Amino acid sequence: MLKLGIKLLSAAVLTVLLSVVLLGRNISQGLGDMSIQNGDWSTSLATGSKDAGAMLKATVALGGLLASSAENSIYYRLRSVGGEPLRLNCSYRIEGNDYEANWWSITAYGWDNYLIPNAEKRYSFNNENLVRNIDGSWVITVAATKQAGNWLPVGPAGAPAWRNMGDYDYDLLLRLYTPGDAYLTTPQSAALPTVIREACQ
């Protein structure tokens, strides 16, 4: 009888653990499954709306987006460039200008949906803190190793403990607050930063 009880308890614990792992995986993939593509970026106008399903709402809560309606904020996520997942051993060049929004930012998140630890304590750039070119354009370099200019660190060089051994190492999130009409009516073609993969080790 005792052995049967232990077996039942073990089975229950394994079932709960498996359910938690699968739910976490589905939630963490939720933002990556946004339905509208704009180059390598993806978005969903349902984020923060009453039309958002349970899984999208859970994803938003887990990702800490604090999403409101699309009229107030829209989010674009990027996990790969040209079909190749973002990797710690590669550097990326983000090129852009100003966008039709009251405020915007680009933030790097680890595969676990948390900010990436780094010695610089720098996690994002926005339209107010970028060093710009004379014409107002800007370039951000995303890399694990120190770079000149607007450098967005994605952790120390090498393979930190939090590195995901799955589909991608980290992603980029573009937030646009009070976005212009193009982002609301034609989000698939609205102006967005260009991301270029550069050297890989």
pLDDT in tens, 127-181: 999 999 999 999 999 999 999 999 999 976 444 444 555 567 899 999 999 999 9
Q: 71, 184 in Cβ contact below 8 A? A: yes
Rounded distance between C-alpha atoms, residue 19 and residue 145, angstroms: 37
90-113 pLDDT tens trace: 999 999 999 999 999 999 998 778
Q: What is the pLDDT of residue 23?
A: 42
State the pTM of this model: 0.73
35 — pLDDT class (breaks 50, 70, 90): confident
| Residue 95, strand partner residues | 139, 194
Here the contacts of 17-20 (C-beta below 8 Å, separation 24 or greater) are none
142-153 pLDDT tens trace: 999 999 999 999
Map out the domains of the chain with their CATH numbers.
2-200 (2.60.120.600)
Q: What is the DSSP annotation of 134-149?
A: TTS-EEEEEESS--SS
Report how far apart the first and last C-alpha atoms of the chain are (Å, whole number). Answer: 58
Q: 190, 183 in Cβ contact below 8 A? A: yes
Greater confidence (155 vs 119) lies with 119
Q: 88, 200 in Cβ contact below 8 A? A: no
72 — pLDDT class (breaks 50, 70, 90): confident
Q: How many residues does the chain have?
A: 201
Rounded distance between C-alpha atoms, residue 62 and residue 4, angstroms: 38
